[in-house]
Amino acid sequence: MDGVTVINHPLVQHKLTIMRKKGTSTAGFRRLLREISTLLCYEVTRDLELTMEHIETPMMEIEAPVLEGKKLVFASILRAGNGLLEGMLDLVPSARVAHIGLYRDHDTLEAIEYYFKAPEDVSSRLIIVVDPMLATGNSSIAAVEKLKERGARNIRFLCLLAAPEGIRTFQTAHPDVPIYTASIDSHLNEQGYIIPGLGDAGDRMYGTK
Ligand code: URA
Report, as an integer, the average pLDDT of 36-47. 98
Q: Is the distance from the beta carbon of residue 92 to the nearest atom of ligand 1 less than 6 Å?
A: no
Residue 31 CA, chain-centre distance (Å), reads 17
Domain ranges of the chain: 4-47+70-195
Can you give the pLDDT at residue 18? 98
Q: Which residue is closest in CA terms to ligand 1's atom 3?
A: 200
Using a 10 angstrom Cβ sphere, with 0-12 exposed, 13-18 middle and 19 or more buried, the burial of residue 157 is: buried
Q: Please give the model's pTM, rounded to 2 decimal places.
A: 0.95
Question: For a pocket test of ligand 1, which of 102, 190, 200 has the largest count of ligand atoms closer than 8 A to its C-beta?
Answer: 200
Could you give the percent of the chain with pLDDT greater than 90? 94
Q: What is the tens place of the pLDDT at every residue in 49-91?
A: 999 999 999 999 999 999 999 999 999 999 999 999 999 999 9
Task: Tell me what pLDDT residue 1 has.
Answer: 84
Which CATH number does the domain 4-47+70-195 belong to among 3.30.420.40, 3.40.50.720, 1.20.1440.230, 3.40.50.2020?
3.40.50.2020
Atom of ligand 1 nearest to the CA of 198: 6
Tell me how far apart the alpha carbons of residues 130 and 91 are, in angstroms, rounded to a whole number.
15
Query: What kind and span of H or E run contains 88?
Result: helix 82-91
pLDDT digits (tens, 9 = 90+) for 107-165: 776 778 999 999 999 999 999 999 999 999 999 999 999 999 999 999 999 999 999 99
